[in-house]
Amino acid sequence: MIDLHSHVLPDVDDGTRSLEEARALARSAVEDGVTRMVATPHVRGDWPTTPERMERGVAELRADFALEGIPLEILHGAELSIERLGELNPDDLLRFSLGQNGRYVLLECPYFSSYVELVPAIKALSKVGLAAVVAHPERNPTIQERPARISALLALGALVQVTAGSIDGRLGRSAERTASALVELGYVHAIASDAHGPHIREGGLAAAAAAVGDSALGTYLTEEAPAAILAGESVATRVRARRRWPFGFS
């Protein structure tokens, strides 16, 4: 599986606090079946990570994991906040894009204000040829109120990442109900861990993929669609297969 959203870089944001914690997180992800993990440190007011800092962190983890024999490929990325976006130049955005593919960036969905605030950010990104992958909209109250609202962002070319802990209920009932509705509506393109440490919301992609309730769709959301996103390809949504009635009814 591919994990598009993680705070694995040590001492950069509120993610792992040491190399030991980063190794522990990586080992638990490998155990869970993850082969590639994008390092997406916060780039926002409280954690204004620079491209240089992120790239240095990725280089350090790659070197360390090679020495330690941890079979997890770490890729470049960031979780961009909407308020910070205006201060980044096109080169910064390129370096912060997922896998540095120059096509997709991870955009943090606000936790308290309206999802509508994402609209100008998504439009600004598309002006420089980038598409947003909106991180965990299922945790936003205005999306929880009416999940179908997310279609307004999809219409602008955005993709949607939900957090593994929302799908399988670890992040509470509202997030679970909303994540399930988004999957049901076919508005989700990837499930990612958003792991901040070895013991907080660790990995859990396999459990979340199983909790989707459709194994082909679970595979799509944790393997095929994230691979296409990293490759900079267009990504279609898929809906959950309808449960078949027994005895030949359909």
Annotate 134-154 with DSSP letters as a single string. EE-GGGSHHHHH-GGGGHHHH
Question: Nearer to Fe ion by C-beta: 79 or 138?
Answer: 79
10 Å CB burial of residue 18 (0-12, 13-18, 19+) is exposed
Question: Nearer to Fe ion by C-beta: 13 or 223?
Answer: 13
Q: Closest separation between CB of residue 176 and Fe ion, Å?
A: 18
10 Å CB burial of residue 158 (0-12, 13-18, 19+) is buried
Question: Nearer to Fe ion by C-beta: 19 or 47?
Answer: 47
Number of residues that bind Fe ion (CB under 5 A): 2
**What is the 3-state secondary structure of 49-97?**
CCHHHHHHHHHHHHHHHHHHCCCCEEECCCEECHHHHCCCCHHHHHHHC
Taking contact as CB under 5 A, which single stretch among the options 79-87, 93-101, 183-191, 222-230 is the one that binds Fe ion?
Answer: 79-87
Q: Which of 21, 32, 79, 202 binds Fe ion (CB under 5 A)?
A: 79
Q: Closest separation between CB of residue 226 and Fe ion, Å?
A: 15
Rounded-to-integer distance, Cα 215 and Cα 201, Å = 22
Q: Closest separation between CB of residue 239 and Fe ion, Å?
A: 26
Taking contact as CB under 5 A, which single stretch among the options 24-32, 67-75, 171-179, 189-197 is the one that binds Fe ion?
Answer: 189-197
Kindly report the backbone phi and psi dihedral angles of residue 163, in degrees, each rounded to the nearest multiple of 5, phi listed first.
-90, 140
Contact 107, 120 (CB under 8 A): no
Q: Name the residue type at position 103.
A: R
List the interface residues with Fe ion, window 97-126 (CB under 5 A): none
Residue nearest to Fe ion (CB): 194
Q: Closest separation between CB of residue 160 and Fe ion, Å?
A: 14
Q: Name the residue type at position 173.
A: R
Is 138 a residue that touches Fe ion (CB under 5 A)?
Answer: no
Q: Closest separation between CB of residue 7 and Fe ion, Å?
A: 6
Question: Nearer to Fe ion by C-beta: 79 or 168?
Answer: 79
Q: Closest separation between CB of residue 221 and Fe ion, Å?
A: 17
List the interface residues with Fe ion, window 191-220 (CB under 5 A): 194
Rounded-to-integer distance, Cα 128 and Cα 89, Å = 10
Question: Nearer to Fe ion by C-beta: 164 or 225?
Answer: 164
Rounded-to-integer distance, Cα 220 and Cα 56, Å = 31
Structure tokens at 8: 């694995």
Contact 2, 34 (CB under 8 A): yes
Taking contact as CB under 5 A, which single stretch among the options 8-16, 75-83, 88-96, 242-250 is the one that binds Fe ion?
Answer: 75-83
Q: Closest separation between CB of residue 94 and Fe ion, Å?
A: 20
Interface residue list for Fe ion (CB under 5 A): 79, 194
